[in-house]
A and B are shown apart, each in its own frame.
Chain A
Amino acid sequence: MDDFYQQNILDHSRHPRNSGRLDHPSVSREEMNPLCGDKLHIDLQIDDGVVTAVGFTGRGCAISQAAASMLTEEIKGKSVAEVRALSKDDVLGLLGIPIGYTRLKCALLGLKAIKVGVYNLADEEFDDDELF
């Protein structure tokens, strides 16, 4: 257990990075996980095809909030193409712990918000089957 809730996960969930909302986001996205009532909101600012700022607010379990917080750090400075290519394994890599089937929805909620956001920016639908 001490392995599961590692210090970095607890730290990210208590002190989410890039916390808050952006004034003029290029795209905003809210996602909910009805399973446990996790909710989060992600704002992205994109300049010349690169993510320059991220705003994150949310509430929910430590896994959903920590994974989203880690992702906000991960995507800053990345190109939209790189963000579009992020996968489930990238998130699991960031978390660094085994995630069971039911908690996967928590872990991937932030990624889902980000992916839907960048797909919508290009007027495309994101099918979340791709994530799981």
Chain B
Amino acid sequence: MTQMIAPQFDLERIRADFPILHQQVHGHPLAYLDSTASSQKPALVIDAMNDFYRRTNANVHRGVYQLSEQATEAMEQARAKIARFIGARSVREIIFTRNTTESINLVAHAWGRANLRPGDRILLTEMEHHSNLVPWQIVAQATGAELLFIPVDGTGRLALDGLDRLLTERTKLVALTHMSNVLGTINPVKVIAAAAKQVGALVLVDGAQSVPHFPVDVGELGIDFLAFSGHKMCGPTGVGVLWGRKPLLQAMPPFLGGGSMIRSVGLRSSSWNDLPHKFEAGTPAIAEAIGLGYAVDYLASVGMDAIHQAEQQLTQYAVERLQGIDGLTLYGPAVAERGGVLSFNLAGVHAHDVAAVLDQQGVAVRAGHHCCQPLMELLDAPATARASFYLYTTPAEIDQLVRGLEKCKAIFG
């Protein structure tokens, strides 16, 4: 395995940056294979947040005293780092939210309610996470818009041959995931965005699984909105991002009302603050936003291309090992079109039992429907077990997974 890893990618040094990884679980070394649900955090991020609370903590954009100015500056620096990280033209296009879910809800409610009319269409895909499905169901119900879906084919990829028919001048928005959190499929967002532009539709990308794992440049993709979560990219929980093109964000009404998002307030009406503050009502997650800024520094220092390459190699290895297990069904497309997410089932054993046996072997995997019930219906699997990888995952952990699965077969055999 070692010669397959890109030269600048020092796995051992990377692992040393993540304190949580070095522990035993049920008498085995922890093999954390659930980064798709939430990634682990490097010491740099944990320390930055601690340090903020020990030295700098104060509310932002309010005080004129030193602490508040330092806190504000630290948070705005984080915003600038994130803007650079995804190729945003302006820091004002970076809106701090709680997570991907809130980012998508922001667009659904603020843009959707103001712009969708009966008969308008929103084009989604059959592989969306509930967080890029349910908000659109709610808004479609409120506005009379219709939901259409790009189908998923037998190999777990989007079936794009019918895209021309699905996109019409009634299509106002295409909202899709960049990478499936169940199948690992990486979708050709650039191609789909270009087709959407032909009919004048806006494009929202759920980047919850792409921004953490490979280079994402919003200009290059030609999209309008990008949503992602801090906790899946080495950052803390409680902070996420919505990126949107400035003219769109400027034209949108606010999502939540309250402090910070206003310019002036009267008893009966108010006017809105400039971007990004118009969409950041109330006290934000300050320490978390700062922590996310450090997470972005960390990822950039390792290099997103290097991370992607290492994960591809590891995924190739894992696919080969898993395919060697009798009775194991692996879902999703070929390695070239997928990221480091492997969903599988062992014949005759429920995914939750697989996960429980693996836990006893120190291996942490997710089991269930992964917040994608419609996709699971399509796969005809009420649940799958899912192993997912990140920059700190080792081939030895894959081996540990395989040994755990053999154990599982012995117990339930």
Q: Would you list which residues of chain B between 394 and 413 have a CB under 8 Å from chain A? A: 407, 411-412
Given A10-B411, A37-B369, A60-B350, check contact A1 B383 (CB 8 Å): no
18 A-B residue contacts at CB 8 Å?
A1-B411, A4-B356, A5-B353, A5-B411, A5-B412, A10-B411, A10-B412, A34-B369, A36-B368, A36-B369, A36-B383, A37-B383, A60-B352, A61-B351, A62-B349, A62-B353, A63-B356, A103-B352
Minimum C-beta distance from A68 to chain B (A): 13
- Any B CB within 8 A of the CB of A2: yes
Residue of A nearest to B369 (CB): A37
Given A37-B369, A61-B352, check contact A5 B382 (CB 8 Å): no
Please encode chain A, from 1 to 23, with 1 for each CB lying within 8 Å of some chain B CB and 0 for all others: 11011000010000000000000
Q: Which of A1, A2, A61 contacts B350 (CB 8 A)?
A: A61
- Any A CB within 8 A of the CB of B360: yes
Report the separation of the CA atoms of residues A34 and B383 in the bound assembly, to the nearest whole angstrom: 10
B residues with a Cβ closer than 8 A to A are 349-353, 356-357, 360-361, 367-369, 376, 382-383, 407, 411-412
Report the separation of the CA atoms of residues A55 and B279 in the bound assembly, to the nearest whole angstrom: 55
A residues with a Cβ closer than 8 A to B are 1-2, 4-5, 10, 34-37, 39, 59-63, 103, 106
Minimum C-beta distance from B112 to chain A (A): 26
Residues of chain B within 8 A (CB-CB) of A2 are 411
Report the separation of the CA atoms of residues A53 and B147 in the bound assembly, to the nearest whole angstrom: 47
Report the separation of the CA atoms of residues A1 and B357 in the bound assembly, to the nearest whole angstrom: 6
Minimum C-beta distance from A41 to chain B (A): 15
Residue of B nearest to A35 (CB): B368
Q: Are B407 and A1 in contact, with the CB atoms below 8 A? A: yes
Residue of A nearest to B360 (CB): A1
Residues of chain A within 8 A (CB-CB) of B383 are 36-37, 61
Report the separation of the CA atoms of residues A45 and B83 in the bound assembly, to the nearest whole angstrom: 64
Residues of chain A within 8 A (CB-CB) of B353 are 5, 61-63
Residue of B nearest to A1 (CB): B360
Residue of B nearest to A65 (CB): B350
Report the separation of the CA atoms of residues A10 and B241 in the bound assembly, to the nearest whole angstrom: 45
Residue of A nearest to B350 (CB): A61
Which 8 A-B residue pairings sit nearest by Cβ, starting from the closest?
A: A37-B382, A1-B360, A61-B352, A61-B350, A36-B352, A62-B353, A37-B383, A36-B368
Report the separation of the CA atoms of residues A4 and B352 in the bound assembly, to the nearest whole angstrom: 13
Query: Which of A2, A4, A10, A37 gathers most chain B CB within 10 Å?
Result: A37
Query: Which of B351, B382, B407 gathers most chain A CB within 10 Å?
Result: B382
Q: Are B361 and A1 in contact, with the CB atoms below 8 A? A: yes
Minimum C-beta distance from B368 to chain A (A): 5
Q: Which of A4, A10, A36, A59 contacts B360 (CB 8 A)?
A: A4
Residue of A nearest to B349 (CB): A62
Report the separation of the CA atoms of residues A63 and B357 in the bound assembly, to the nearest whole angstrom: 12
Minimum C-beta distance from B61 to chain A (A): 39
Given A5-B412, A10-B411, A10-B412, check contact A36 B356 (CB 8 Å): no
Residues of chain A within 8 A (CB-CB) of B351 are 36, 61
Given contacts A36-B352, A36-B369, A62-B353, 13 further A-B contacts (CB under 8 A): A1-B407, A4-B356, A5-B356, A5-B357, A5-B412, A34-B369, A36-B351, A37-B376, A37-B382, A37-B383, A61-B351, A62-B350, A103-B352
Minimum C-beta distance from B347 to chain A (A): 14
Residues of chain B within 8 A (CB-CB) of A103 are 352, 356
Report the separation of the CA atoms of residues A78 and B247 in the bound assembly, to the nearest whole angstrom: 69
Minimum C-beta distance from B27 to chain A (A): 11
Minimum C-beta distance from B385 to chain A (A): 11
Report the separation of the CA atoms of residues A70 and B351 in the bound assembly, to the nearest whole angstrom: 21
Query: Which of B353, B356, B361, B367 gathers most chain A CB within 10 Å?
Result: B353
Residues of chain A within 8 A (CB-CB) of B349 are 62
Report the separation of the CA atoms of residues A39 and B350 in the bound assembly, to the nearest whole angstrom: 12
Q: Are A36 and B412 in contact, with the CB atoms below 8 A? A: no
Minimum C-beta distance from A100 to chain B (A): 9
Minimum C-beta distance from B202 to chain A (A): 32
Residues of chain A within 8 A (CB-CB) of B367 are 36
Report the separation of the CA atoms of residues A37 and B373 in the bound assembly, to the nearest whole angstrom: 9
Residues of chain B within 8 A (CB-CB) of A1 are 357, 360-361, 407, 411
